[in-house]
Structure 1
Amino acid sequence: MSSRDRDVAVAFARLAAACDGAIVGLALAAFAAASWVKYVAASAALRRISAAPSAPISGLRSLLDSSSSSSSEEVPLLVVVRGQVQPSPALEALGGWAFSQNNGALTPRGSDDRAVAILDTQTVLYNEWRGIFAWSFDLQALFAKPWKERRSCSLRTVPFVLVEGGNWPNSGYVHVNLDGSTHPLPLRQVHHELRPVQVTPYTFFQVMFATGFPVALLEEEKILPVGKEITAIGICRERDGAIEIKSCQELPCFLSEMTKDEIAAELSSNTRILFWSGIMLGTLSVGILGYALIRNLWRWREWRMRRRSHNEDLHNDAMMDDTMGQEDVPDGELCVICLQTRRRSAFIPCGHLVCCHPCAMRVVCDPSPKCPVCRQNVRSSIRIYGS
């Protein structure tokens, strides 16, 4: 770690420990609140997935009919189905669909596989060079996403269906609707290539000022192949005489390679982790915030007591100086500030005895204390008593 990075880390550590760790306690409380929010969402999703019926594709229509007959209102039906991926048929014949083995699928480059979804990702890899002048943005290196990698993604899809693998093409099917879905797809990588980037004249300025210059281009291609066995968890409905399944945004997944039991087990494990994380972070944050509150409360009380004692001392000194001020004081011994009482306090380090005690205390308590005579910085004052 460089000296600049170490200095920035020390500065953030001091900031986090400010106010006896109150900032750390607030950060832990925020993480605990986020864990509890995720726990509530995961628990609700787990209950919905566990209660969702797992039906074969051929029995979806009867399930929809029974659901609509049992309820007068149209309620979305959440189901779990498992089947093989096949491209949607492109020809219509006799009120049904005529499946074709070579129609409607995508072909990825460098592979003979057939796919219904292709994700092309290009990642520009940047160097670790900080520049000739060692200029860098340390805060971004600590907290932001590493800016040495910049990505661009493009997803191509074709309409596809899920069919029962053992009975296709004689079995039923369900259309998969990806509109509005933000869930990841169970893709498989088929292409991976790393190519060096050609140096340009602009790279010289990037090297000089450490803005980062590209050194390689990583190209990846992932596909959802035809014939893959996947599980779909979503809202099932009948549309234009065909059955389709659509993603539910409240659930953490839509299409997955795992079965319903495996998805429920993984989600149950995540909920337990979130639950205990929320308890641990919440308990730790409450302890740190309680400690910081008690410590700052005691400091505030001590400050009030010191201030009260200081005000009483000033009042007593003023009364004493008023009593002594009734005597005749020569002009050369009067305070240069109030011109009423005798000079009794000397400033440190200059040593000038030019003020009474109350005026000297006011000078010392000033944000930028300076001697009224020599204008030198004052650290404190000392009371002078005459014998």
Structure 2
Amino acid sequence: MPILASPPPPELFSVLGNSKIPQMSSPDRSAVFPLLIDIALSFDGAILGVTLALGAVRAAFKYASTSAALNKIKDAPEVSVSDLRSLIPPSSGDQSETSDDQQRIVVVRGTVKAKTNSNVLTSQETGDKALIIHRSQTYVYSGWKTLFQLTNGHRFLLERSLPKQGADFMRMVPFVIVDDTQPSSSSFVLVNMDGARQPLPLTTVYNRLQPINSSPYAFLQALFFPEYPVGMVDVEKILPPERDLTAVGICSFNNGVPEIKSCQHLPYFLSEMTKDKMIIDLAETTSVIFWGGLIMGCLSAGILGFAAVRAWNRWKLRNHEEREQQQRPDEQRPDQPMVADETEDEDEIPDGALCVICVTRRRVPAFIPCGHVVCCRQCALAVEREVNPKCPVCLQSIRGSMRVYYS
């Protein structure tokens, strides 16, 4: 484990003035956010509506789990360490194969102590006594303009591929919870940390920034990538003994010794909050999740409804145009074989009778309903085949064309 023997030089902090813990820089945001907005608003916002719908469904599941956890903590009895044996008989606690829902969840408030005083951990940096020591080392990156001016999208992809997290490990010793009112009593509850994933109430005792020694790999990384590591943050957190904590979990007896372990369906296991504060915190979280999911659900319903109505209107308009095209007379259908406009020579056509589009053939058909005679037959058919056909003169929407005969 690398240990900092002396504090980093002052020059390092001047270099790290613009440094940051890995996150998306402003050039990357300017390139990625417009792309995400374009994708979200495509198909009349249908993708955005589906995304909000998925978020609403996820919020609904989260609300259900949070509400269930709130009800379990409300129903859990808050007892002292000495009252556990009367609440949970040892005969019923030896069933280790029962599920979490079938076992009793209790709330115990007490002081944490090491199971054996000789096994207490000691912090290597501060010398403090600890029951749990968690140490993490995180890289600090600093960016500059690279030699090769890559696009923002490529820079974002390359930056995300770099390692961001260093070492992360934890040590602990077996510890118990004793009663606050009777610290000298022999009654205690053993804390089983196996499978516990809830956050722990740890205290930060060491936080240092140490520089990273330069290497050929670091030089290449600084040359080709938009960000490169310049330091590493070393943080150490501990759980000191003699701290008052609240344990919320499943209590059972292991060889006659009361033992409490975490329940995977609860957000708390060891916490400095009391039962009342946990209930208030969970109630606020449940309320935020409920209203957030409701708002996302309403927005998704509105956006998806708008997209569905737009698609339905476009489909009806397309069908209406197809029916009108089928009901036209044979001489007005754009798919009929082309015929010669006039048999006379093109040189004999006056300038005022030439097609305004090709300027080579005589004006023959009249557009419906505006009645303008400005195109030859071939150019009129090309105009009618457009998605939204309009007259080249008045820009009015046309439904077809009709050949005009001069007597």
Q: After TM superposition, list the pairs within 5 Å mapping 1:57-72 onto structure 2.
A: 57-65=81-89, 68=92
> Is the 2:31–2:152 Cα contact (8 Å) retained in structure 1?
no
Worse-matched range after superposition: 9-18 or 268-277: 9-18
> How far apart are 1:362 and its partner, in Å?
8.0
Worse-matched range after superposition: 276-285 or 186-195: 276-285
- Evaluate the alpha carbon distance shift between residue 315 and residue 106 of structure 1 in structure 2; reply closer, same or farther with a 3 A threshold: farther
Structure 2 residue 202 is matched with structure 1 residue 170: no
> Is the 1:132–1:207 Cα contact (8 Å) retained in structure 2?
no
- The TM-score with structure 2 as length reference comes to 0.73
Q: What CA distance in whole angstroms lies between the structure 2 residues aligned with 1:127 and 1:319?
A: 65
> How far apart are 1:77 and its partner, in Å?
1.1
> How far apart are 1:44 and its partner, in Å?
0.3
- Evaluate the alpha carbon distance shift between residue 206 and residue 136 of structure 1 in structure 2; reply closer, same or farther with a 3 A threshold: farther
> Is the 2:358–2:379 Cα contact (8 Å) retained in structure 1?
no
> How far apart are 1:166 and its partner, in Å?
3.4
Q: Which runs of 5+ in 1 are unaligned?
A: 90-100, 334-345, 368-380
Q: Which residue of 2 aligns with 1:87?
A: 114
Worse-matched range after superposition: 238-247 or 128-137: 128-137
> Is the 1:348–1:382 Cα contact (8 Å) retained in structure 2?
no
Q: After TM superposition, list the pairs within 5 Å mapping 1:267-346 onto structure 2.
A: 267-313=282-328, 315-317=330-332
Q: What CA distance in whole angstroms lies between the structure 1 residues aligned with 2:401 and 2:29?
A: 45
Q: Which residue of 1 aligns with 2:80?
A: 56
Structure 2 residue 66 is matched with structure 1 residue 42: yes
Q: Which residue of 1 aligns with 2:7?
A: none
What is the RMSD computed on CA atoms of the aligned residues?
3.9
Structure 2 residue 240 is matched with structure 1 residue 213: no
Worse-matched range after superposition: 239-248 or 168-177: 168-177
Q: Which residue of 2 aligns with 1:253?
A: 268
Cα-to-partner distance string for 1:66-89 (whole Å, 9 max, x where unaligned): 9949x9x96411110011111113
Q: Which residue of 1 aligns with 2:366?
A: none
> Is the 1:122–1:217 Cα contact (8 Å) retained in structure 2?
yes
> How far apart are 1:319 and its partner, in Å?
11
> How far apart are 1:220 and its partner, in Å?
0.3
Amino acid at match of 1:108: S
> Is the 1:318–1:358 Cα contact (8 Å) retained in structure 2?
no
Match of 1:127, SS state, is strand
> How far apart are 1:347 and its partner, in Å?
9.5
> How far apart are 1:253 and its partner, in Å?
1.3
Q: What CA distance in whole angstroms lies between the structure 1 residues aligned with 2:264 and 2:355?
A: 73
> Is the 1:119–1:156 Cα contact (8 Å) retained in structure 2?
yes
Cα-to-partner distance string for 1:202-251 (whole Å, 9 max, x where unaligned): 23321221163210010000001111111110010011121100110011
- The TM-score with structure 1 as length reference comes to 0.76
Amino acid at match of 1:34: R
> How far apart are 1:27 and its partner, in Å?
1.2
Q: What CA distance in whole angstroms lies between the structure 2 residues aligned with 1:167 and 1:18?
A: 66
- Evaluate the alpha carbon distance shift between residue 164 and residue 133 of structure 1 in structure 2; reply closer, same or farther with a 3 A threshold: same
Matched length: 344
Match of 2:122, SS state, is coil
> Is the 2:146–2:222 Cα contact (8 Å) retained in structure 1?
yes
Q: After TM superposition, list the pairs within 5 Å mapping 1:217-228 onto structure 2.
A: 217-228=232-243
- Evaluate the alpha carbon distance shift between residue 43 and residue 347 of structure 1 in structure 2; reply closer, same or farther with a 3 A threshold: farther
Percentage of identical aligned residues: 36
- Evaluate the alpha carbon distance shift between residue 384 and residue 174 of structure 1 in structure 2; reply closer, same or farther with a 3 A threshold: same
Match of 2:119, SS state, is coil
Match of 1:45, SS state, is helix
> How far apart are 1:271 and its partner, in Å?
0.5
Q: What CA distance in whole angstroms lies between the structure 2 residues aligned with 1:77 and 1:320?
A: 80
Cα-to-partner distance string for 1:87-111 (whole Å, 9 max, x where unaligned): 113xxxxxxxxxxx4x111001222
Q: Which runs of 5+ in 2 are unaligned?
A: 1-24, 347-353, 363-375, 388-399
Cα-to-partner distance string for 1:173-205 (whole Å, 9 max, x where unaligned): 011111111111110000011011122222332
Amino acid at match of 2:51: A
Q: What CA distance in whole angstroms lies between the structure 2 residues aligned with 1:224 and 1:348?
A: 87
- Evaluate the alpha carbon distance shift between residue 303 and residue 246 of structure 1 in structure 2; reply closer, same or farther with a 3 A threshold: same
Q: What CA distance in whole angstroms lies between the structure 1 residues aligned with 2:335 and 2:39?
A: 46
> Is the 1:5–1:138 Cα contact (8 Å) retained in structure 2?
no
Q: After TM superposition, list the pairs within 5 Å mapping 1:371-386 onto structure 2.
A: none
- Select the residue among 59, 77, 81 that pairs with 2:104: 77
Q: What CA distance in whole angstroms lies between the structure 1 residues aligned with 2:356 and 2:225?
A: 51
- Evaluate the alpha carbon distance shift between residue 172 and residue 348 of structure 1 in structure 2; reply closer, same or farther with a 3 A threshold: farther
Match of 1:155, SS state, is strand
Q: What CA distance in whole angstroms lies between the structure 1 residues aligned with 2:355 and 2:108?
A: 87
- Evaluate the alpha carbon distance shift between residue 220 and residue 319 of structure 1 in structure 2; reply closer, same or farther with a 3 A threshold: closer
Q: What CA distance in whole angstroms lies between the structure 1 residues aligned with 2:164 and 2:277?
A: 34
> How far apart are 1:288 and its partner, in Å?
1.4
> How far apart are 1:24 and its partner, in Å?
1.4
Amino acid at match of 1:38: K
Q: What CA distance in whole angstroms lies between the structure 1 residues aligned with 2:218 and 2:287?
A: 50
- Evaluate the alpha carbon distance shift between residue 3 and residue 250 of structure 1 in structure 2; reply closer, same or farther with a 3 A threshold: closer
- Evaluate the alpha carbon distance shift between residue 166 and residue 360 of structure 1 in structure 2; reply closer, same or farther with a 3 A threshold: same
